[in-house]
Homo-oligomer: A and B are copies of this chain.
Amino acid sequence: MEALFNYFEQFQKLSTADKQAIAATCSIKKVKKNEIIEAVGSASTTIYFLKSGIARTFYYKEGIDVTEYFALAGNIVARAQSILTRKASAKAIQIIEAGELIAINMTKFFQLFDTFPTIERLFRRILEASYLDIIERLESLQFHSAKERYVALLEDMELIQKVPLKYIASYLGITQVSLSRIRATYHSNAMLKS
C-alpha cells in the first residue's frame, strides 16, 4: 500500500487517518498478461493503481480495436468517464504486462469526501493533473503530424519497448501500417545522422 500513498502524496499530504480511510477502500489484485480487468458494457466503480505491470484502456470503433491510453507501473488506470458519469462504458481495461494492482473502490472512496476533506482535495489534484495531461495529448493530436507524435512517444522508451506496436498505432490515431511506414523512414533517417 506504501506505493499508492507515495503516489498520492505527490499531490496531497495525507494524515494517518486519511491513509487508514483510503486503505479501507483498497484491495490487492494480481493480474496476468492480456487479462481484461474491466469489460465493455459495465459501469465502472473502480480505479486501479499499478504497483507493477502495464495496462491500457481501449474500445471497439466499428469493430476495430482502438487504444485510448496506456498506464505504466506507478500510475493509475481507470475508465474515468464511466466513474464520473456513473454510466455504462463502451471501453475496457486490459493488462499488457502482468503485475500487481491496487484496486480502489470509488463508491467507498467518494463517500470519504464529506468526512475527509483532504481526500476530496487529493482527488481534485489528481483530476487537475489528468486534465493537464489530456490537454497536452489533445494538442499533440490537433497540431502535430503522425510522425511528430511517434517521435514524441519515443521519449517514453519503456512504452515503446514493452507495448505491441498494434496498440500504439491506434493510440497515435493512425493505422498500424502507417506506423510501420513512419518507423521505417524515421529510423533510416536517424541512422544517417549517426
Contacts and interface: CB of A to CB of B under 8 A. Distances in A.
A128 B84 contact: yes
Interface string A126-169: 01101110110111011100000000000000000000000000
- How many residues of A sit at the interface, in one of the four size bands? 20 to 34
A117 interface: yes
A15 interface: no
Interface string A67-79: 0100000000000
Contacts of A84: 128, 131-132
Contact of A143 (B123, B139, B173): B173
Contacts of A171: 142
Given A120-B120, A141-B138, A141-B173, A131 B80 contact: yes
Q: Is chain A's interface secondary structure helix, strand, loop, or mixed overall? A: helix
A42 interface: no
A121 interface: yes
A4 interface: no
Contacts of A138: 134, 137-138, 141
Interface in A80-104: 80-81, 84-85
Interface of A: 61, 66, 68, 80-81, 84-85, 113, 117, 120-121, 123-124, 127-128, 130-132, 134-135, 137-139, 141-143, 170-171, 173
